[in-house]
């Protein structure tokens, strides 16, 4: 493959967002009188979008109007607290800059709501990613390939010259649904076992390994 571009998931792949996600969700649960959850549980809650994350953390059905109020409160809170503890993974900024120096075009494809995805990409990686496709109403969430295809079109890429990098089964499914090979990152939220079981084409343990793949 004559690689020309790489699409990255966000949470658990290029940014360790777990602390801020847990804090915002727990602040929401506490505000509405529900039990909070241990931070480590959020590794399992994240991946299918913010609504599903809040639903999983809630842990039980509630009336639709209660959930909508809770979810709206979460979005507002997280939007103003998204970058307190969120950090790049060690070694990744240098690797991404090296990929850009090779002429590769880089994008983010995530199920995180678009405003928060933009905020984190700007705060951690300003000027690194040319496009950020987050959760929006005009296309479905991953593993539907729509956002990956839109990112490729925006970057003038094709499945034949693009790689997808992510940390979960959702990312593997997204990549394969879009006709892309997927490299799984074992440093993320879900780990090597899930990525292997999902059919990742390769699983790596450190950002530096991306340089030998690309």
Instruction: Tell me how far the alpha carbon of residue 204 is from its chain's centroid.
Output: 17
According to DSSP, the β-strands at 15-16 and 87-88 are antiparallel
**CA–CA gap between residue 58 and residue 16 (Å, rounded):** 22
Q: Which residues pair with residue 6 across a beta bridge?
A: 106, 163
**CA–CA gap between residue 175 and residue 3 (Å, rounded):** 15
Number of Cβ within a 10 Å radius of residue 84: 10
Q: Report pLDDT for 3.
A: 95
With a cut of 80, say whether residue 1 has pLDDT above it. no
Q: What is the DSSP letter of 167?
A: S
Q: Report pLDDT for 193.
A: 98
pTM for the full predicted model: 0.97
CA dihedral defined by 94, 96, 100, 102, rounded to 10 degrees?
80
Q: Are the beta carbons of 119 and 19 closer than 8 angstroms?
A: no
Share of the chain above pLDDT 90, in %: 98
Find the catalytic residue in 9, 11, 20, 171. Answer: 9
Q: Provide the 3-class DSSP secondary structure of residue 7.
A: strand
> What's the whole-number mean pLDDT along residues 156-183?
98
9 is catalytic: yes
**CA–CA gap between residue 18 and residue 87 (Å, rounded):** 10
Domains and CATH numbers, the chain: 5-16+86-213 (3.40.50.1000), 18-80 (1.10.150.240)
Q: Which residue has the tokens 């990312």?
A: 171
Share of the chain above pLDDT 70, in %: 100
Q: Listing from the earlier edge strand, what are the strands of the sheet with 131-135?
A: 131-135, 105-113, 5-8, 162-166, 182-185, 202-204
Q: Report pLDDT for 137.
A: 95
Q: Classify residue 103 by burial, with Cβ atoms within 10 Å: 0-12, 13-18, 19+.
A: exposed
**How does residue 30 score in pLDDT terms, banded at 50, 70 and 90?**
very high
Instruction: Tell me how far the alpha carbon of residue 9 is from its chain's centroid.
Output: 4
Number of Cβ within a 10 Å radius of residue 51: 17
**CA–CA gap between residue 133 and residue 150 (Å, rounded):** 8
**How does residue 110 score in pLDDT terms, banded at 50, 70 and 90?**
very high
């Amino acid at each position: 493959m004559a690689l020309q571009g790489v699409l990255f998931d966000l949470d658990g792949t290029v940014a360790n967002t777990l602390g801020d996600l847990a804090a915002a969700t727990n602040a929401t649960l506490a505000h509405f009188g529900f039990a909070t959850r241990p931070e480590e549980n959020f590794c399992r809650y994240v991946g299918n979008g913010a609504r599903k994350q809040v639903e999983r953390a809630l842990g039980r059905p509630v009336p639709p109007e209660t959930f909508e109020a809770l979810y709206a409160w979460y979005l507002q809170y997280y939007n103003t607290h998204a970058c307190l503890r969120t950090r790049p993974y060690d070694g990744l900024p240098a690797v991404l800059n090296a990929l850009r120096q090779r002429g590769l075009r880089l994008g983010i494809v995530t199920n995180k709501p678009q405003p928060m995805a933009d905020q984190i990409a700007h705060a951690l990686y300003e000027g690194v990613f040319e496009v950020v496709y987050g959760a929006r109403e005009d296309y479905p969430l991953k593993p539907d390939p729509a956002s990956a295809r839109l990112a490729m079109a925006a970057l003038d890429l094709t499945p034949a010259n693009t790689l997808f990098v992510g940390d979960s089964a959702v990312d593997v499914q997204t990549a394969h649904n879009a006709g892309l090979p997927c490299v799984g990152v074992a440093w993320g939220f879900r780990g090597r076992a899930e990525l292997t079981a999902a059919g990742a084409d390769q699983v790596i343990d450190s950002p530096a390994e991306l340089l030998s793949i690309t």
